[in-house]
Amino acid sequence: MVKRWIKVVKNKIKIAVLPGDGIGPEIIKQAVKVLKVFGLESNINYGLIGGKGYEEFQDPLPKTTLDLALQSDAVLLGAVGDWKYDKLPRDMRPERGLLRIRQSLNLFANLRPAIMFSELIHASSLKAEFVSDLDIMIIRELTGDIYFGEPRGIGVNNQNEREGINTMRYSEPEIIRIANVAFKTALKRSKKLCSVDKANVLETTELWREIVIQVGKDYPEVELSHMYVDNAAMQLVKEPKQFDVIVTGNIFGDILSDEASMLTGSIGMLPSASLDANNKGMYEPSHGSAPDIAGLDKANPLATILSLAMMFKYTFNDEEKFNLIENAVKKTLNDGFRTEDIFSKGTNLIGCEEMGDKVIERLMV
Ligand code: IPM
Ligand code: MG
């Protein structure tokens, strides 16, 4: 692993950093401090995305940013979106920039781990016994489904009434490739995979279930189960520890990963990796841009720092740096430092910038 890393560094890896909107810049700044510790400052190129891209280039994914991302080995993204852009035409809105970069880079596999850090057990909305040692990996398909399906839009129907249309769609190859990622991930963990669908109502997911079962024949060691999404939403809060790896489509994964994040205390702790077929990836916290607290030094940078850790693990094959960063985060929590979202009585409330510094201090020792 380490050898491969050295080789990659020699070849001058390129990391695109896209801070985005809202709290994006302040959380990204903390992750960049970590990159500096590893001497990777000069490997960073910055780009504009979301509202920032719109302001400068009238495009939430400016061409220069897309080109930069395409030429880089990995992308680190903060967050996009602000209420002030809600009135813009849909194609100009910050979220479109995010969806387009995911699609343009073919980042079809979104890994969202929900891990309970023991120090945060009291920040969870569930009783400790239900969430202690919780470690779930949600694998969300990221470039298909109702997010991208055509036809879509707002039009007028035969009765001359306005009508909104989106289309849930999955092709067989799209399901096969995400199922393979899920089974391979399950093989490296507890060998349990739960596929979430709504096959009792939606044909798209009826096909999903059929194909997942078919792909599963290549992985006889993995115990495959299926759950309807409504039941999965309930089971996640009823008995979350029954899950290990969950695989699901884009829209269900969006919803279930937000739900799972609260089990672990705060969405401010949930990192994510979005990978293509060659493990090139974009790394971003699962939370949004939180414009209400932007610039106030209140945001939790840990999901972003943990996303950077995932970059080392998945794109650069460097488990060592992944562990170093994760341990530094754990030590910081263990030493009682908390941002507002994970604060509880008896702990030490600090801001975003200081949280970054505390992690760095522990990374350097
Ligand atoms: C996420 C976000 C995005 C999504 C939004 C900002 C477009 O909620 O990454 O989960 O829906 O995928
Ligand atoms: Mg979401």
pLDDT classification of 243: cutoffs 50, 70, 90: very high
Of 262, 256, 276, 272, the C-alpha closest to 76 is 272
**pLDDT in the model for residue 349:** 97
Dihedral of CA atoms 324, 329, 335, 336 in degrees, nearest 10, equals: 180
Give me the sign of the Cα torsion angle 265, 237, 214, 222.
Answer: positive
pLDDT in tens, 186-197: 999 999 999 999
Cα distances from 81 to residues 22, 31, 88, 137, 335, in angstroms, run 7, 20, 12, 26, 33
pLDDT classification of 10: cutoffs 50, 70, 90: very low
pLDDT in tens, 73-110: 999 999 999 999 999 999 999 999 999 999 999 999 99
| HEC-encoded secondary structure of 283-306 | ECCCCCCCHHHCCCCCCCCHHHHH
Pairing type for strands 44-46 and 348-349 reads unpaired
- Return the residue whose CA atom lies nearest to atom 4 of ligand 1: 254
Task: Say if ligand 1 is within 6 A of residue 95 CB.
Answer: yes
Q: Give me ligand 2 centre to Cα 258, in Å.
A: 6
pLDDT classification of 286: cutoffs 50, 70, 90: confident
Query: Which atom of ligand 1 is the closest one to the Cα of 142?
Result: 12
**pLDDT in the model for residue 1:** 45
pLDDT classification of 5: cutoffs 50, 70, 90: low
Could you list the active site residues? Answer: 147, 198, 230, 254, 258
**pLDDT in the model for residue 4:** 52
Q: For residue 245, what are its two tokens?
A: 């790896």
44-46 sheet: strands from edge to edge: 44-46, 15-20, 74-79, 281-283, 273-275, 109-115, 135-141, 245-248, 192-197, 223-228
Q: What's the whole-number mean pLDDT along residues 47-66?
A: 97
DSSP bridge pairs for 193: 224, 245
Average pLDDT, whole number, for the chain? Answer: 94
- Return the residue whose CA atom lies nearest to atom 10 of ligand 1: 254
Q: CB count, 10 Å around CB of 351? A: 17
pLDDT in tens, 299-343: 999 999 999 999 999 999 999 999 999 999 999 999 999 999 999
Task: Say if ligand 1 is within 6 A of residue 174 CB.
Answer: no
Number of the ligand closest to the Cα of 285: 1
pLDDT in tens, 150-179: 999 999 999 999 999 999 999 999 999 999
pLDDT in tens, 191-217: 999 999 999 999 999 999 999 999 999
Q: Give me ligand 2 centre to Cα 144, in Å.
A: 15
**pLDDT in the model for residue 262:** 86
- Cα 131 to chain centroid distance, Å, stands at 21
Q: Give me ligand 2 centre to Cα 5, in Å.
A: 32
pLDDT in tens, 226-236: 999 999 999 99
Three-class secondary structure of residue 50 per DSSP: coil
Cβ-based neighbours of 191, under 8 Å, separated by 6 or more: 221, 222, 223
Burial class of residue 120, CB neighbours in 10 A (0-12, 13-18, 19+): buried
Number of the ligand closest to the Cα of 259: 2
Task: Say if ligand 1 is within 6 A of residue 141 CB.
Answer: no
Task: Say if ligand 1 is within 6 A of residue 357 CB.
Answer: no
Q: Is 60 exceeded by the pLDDT of residue 137?
A: yes
How much of the chain, in percent, has pLDDT values that exceed 90? 90
Q: Give me ligand 1 centre to Cα 3, in Å.
A: 36
Of 271, 229, 134, 258, the C-alpha closest to 190 is 134
DSSP bridge pairs for 138: 112, 246
Q: What's the whole-number mean pLDDT along residues 40-61?
A: 97
DSSP bridge pairs for 46: 17
**pLDDT in the model for residue 265:** 82
Task: Say if ligand 1 is within 6 A of residue 98 CB.
Answer: yes
Q: Give me ligand 1 centre to Cα 254, in Å.
A: 7
